[in-house]
Structure 1
């Protein structure tokens, strides 16, 4: 069948709306009519080929929509079901078997290589193969081929078109706090970068009763948003020694946890230096392979401090995404305050607004999808 998709054909280039052909779902696959999809910073990292993504390609990995067709053997969902599409995994490696699918041993080939494992993508244009299967979906399109493992059925009492960001950005921020760091009531945390991931982490930290929640971001509007969502303190890093500021706020002790969403090595180094003894710094931004992080070894060793990477919030989407929907429904995770909707035809404007920091979480609406009533 014919679909409309935003195709990236050159490194750092624009998204071009093109008519493509999409195959019928193979065994284990699910064709989803996409209602909306979030734009994530990782999409820009893939566009700029800082990750091993081939071109031409259809990106997009925060899709939400309605199941239209299923391949042989699919039992989890059926046509008509509302779903959110998250990352793809093998389901059998030690990480997947141990309920840690974000560390699947086949994570890169199943999410970044632009094809199924057999080398096909399911997308083409006039016989020209177009790379797809990004995060097992490529949801910058009116329709996407996903997999039984990475579609999550969601309730229909919350607008499906709103829920795409739960698949990555919101899940990463909340999961880092609740799953990876397991922040407890009264503990302190610094969040470096108040975008979707950082603000989701702040909401989660408030929900868990963290004592001091400090947001660091250069943009006044994002610092204000952080305060409104639960931060107790905010810091403008421009012209500021952030480590000294954190130590001053904590009477020289430092914080229990720091979370880096910026993927900048200098910021990560600061995140380690502001830790109290036994503190932990989580790196969640899409830092490039080969990028070194300078660590003060004595500081790390002497206080038993820890530095770790966190992928997708250590979450299992099958159970975590429905929980996030429940939190939203209860008013405990108002992530809708972060979003702004754009039609598919304005995807480049949405990306530009995101990269300039004018919008926290753009969501692309496919033709015919109304703006959700929030």
Structure 2
């Protein structure tokens, strides 16, 4: 069938709205008519080939829509169901079988490889292949053949146009706090970067009961929003000394948890330096492969501190996304405050708004 899609034809090229051919469903796939899809930093760095998905490609990995058809082996959804689309995994490796889907041994191929596991692509143009199945979905298209493992059924009464970002950015930040770090009540937490992932993390820290929640950024408007979302303290790192401020805020103790959403080595190092004894610093940013960071390991040896990396918030999407929706329904996780809607034809404007910091979480609607 013919579908409308936003295609990236070359490195750092703008998205081009065009008509593509969508092939037949495979047994383990679900055809989804997209209602909306979030715009994520990961889409931008793949467009720019920091992570090398083969081009031309249809990107997008925060889709939400309605199931139109299912493959013969699909059991979890049916035509007419409302769904959110998330990351892909094999389901059979040791990581997947122990609930650590984000660390699937075939993670890169199934999310960035540009094709199905058998090498075929769902999209074509004039008989030529176009990379598909980005995060198992490629949601920058009016219709997709998504793998069942990327599909999360949600209640039919929900505002689908709002929910796509739960599939990646929002679940990544919230999951980092609730699943990965398991931030306990009464603890102290600092997040570096208050984009969608960072704001989701600080909202999750509020849910978890952290009593000192520090937001660090260089954009005052974002810090103002962070304060309304539950940050007890905000720091503009262009104007203030972060280490001095955190020392003051914590009475010299340091923070129990530091989360870097920027992927900038100097920022990650700063997170490690402000830890309390036994503290943990974690990275959810997406630095280029080969990026290195140096840590002080002499004086800090006596801290017994920890460093870890986190993908997709260590989430099982079919379990975690419904939990976030319940928190949102209760008014305890207001991720809708981060969003701004753009028409699908404005997809490049949506990316520009995200890059400039004007919009925290753009969503394009079909």
After TM superposition, the score normalised by the length of structure 2 is 0.99
Residue 144 of structure 2 aligns to a residue whose secondary structure is strand
After TM superposition, give the deviation of residue 336 of structure 1 in Å. 0.5
After TM superposition, give the deviation of residue 300 of structure 1 in Å. 4.3
Structure 2: runs of 5 or more not aligned? none
Q: Which residue of 2 aligns with 1:249?
A: 249
Q: Which residue of 2 aligns with 1:265?
A: 265
Q: Which residue of 2 aligns with 1:283?
A: 283
Q: Which residue of 1 aligns with 2:130?
A: 130
Measure the CA separation in 2 of the matches of 1:299 and 1:13.
47
Measure the CA separation in 2 of the matches of 1:319 and 1:300.
38
Q: Which residue of 2 aligns with 1:369?
A: none
Q: Which residue of 1 aligns with 2:147?
A: 147
After TM superposition, give the deviation of residue 298 of structure 1 in Å. 1.9
8 Å contact 1:273–1:299 — kept in the other structure? no
Residues paired across the two proteins, number = 366
Q: Deviations over 1:199-258 (max 9, x none)?
A: 111111111110100000111110010000000000001043212221122122110000
1:317-328 equivalences in 2 (<5 Å): 317-328=317-328
1:4 aligns with 2:25: no
Measure the CA separation in 2 of the matches of 1:149 and 1:171.
16
8 Å contact 1:158–1:329 — kept in the other structure? no
Q: Deviations over 1:9-67 (max 9, x none)?
A: 11111000010000121110111101000001111111111112110000000000001
Q: Which residue of 1 aligns with 2:39?
A: 39
Measure the CA separation in 1 of the matches of 2:287 and 2:239.
24
Structure 1: runs of 5 or more not aligned? 367-374
Q: Which residue of 1 aligns with 2:342?
A: 342
Q: Deviations over 1:317-373 (max 9, x none)?
A: 01101111111111111111100000000000010010000000000001xxxxxxx
Measure the CA separation in 2 of the matches of 1:149 and 1:111.
12
Measure the CA separation in 1 of the matches of 2:90 and 2:286.
22
Q: Deviations over 1:161-186 (max 9, x none)?
A: 11000001110111111111111111
Measure the CA separation in 2 of the matches of 1:329 and 1:248.
36
Change in 2 beyond 3 A, CA 1:347/1:299: farther
Q: Which residue of 1 aligns with 2:214?
A: 214
8 Å contact 1:300–1:306 — kept in the other structure? no
Residue 298 of structure 2 aligns to a residue whose secondary structure is helix
After TM superposition, give the deviation of residue 136 of structure 1 in Å. 0.3
After TM superposition, give the deviation of residue 273 of structure 1 in Å. 0.3
After TM superposition, give the deviation of residue 71 of structure 1 in Å. 1.2
RMSD across aligned C-alpha pairs, in angstroms?
Answer: 0.9
Q: Which residue of 1 aligns with 2:78?
A: 78
Measure the CA separation in 2 of the matches of 1:285 and 1:144.
27
Q: Which residue of 2 aligns with 1:236?
A: 236
Measure the CA separation in 1 of the matches of 2:298 and 2:333.
39
Q: Which residue of 2 aligns with 1:372?
A: none
Q: Deviations over 1:65-123 (max 9, x none)?
A: 00111112111111111000100000011111101111111110000010111111110
Q: Which residue of 1 aligns with 2:93?
A: 93
Measure the CA separation in 2 of the matches of 1:294 and 1:219.
26
Q: Which residue of 2 aligns with 1:296?
A: 296
Residue 176 of structure 1 aligns to a residue whose secondary structure is helix
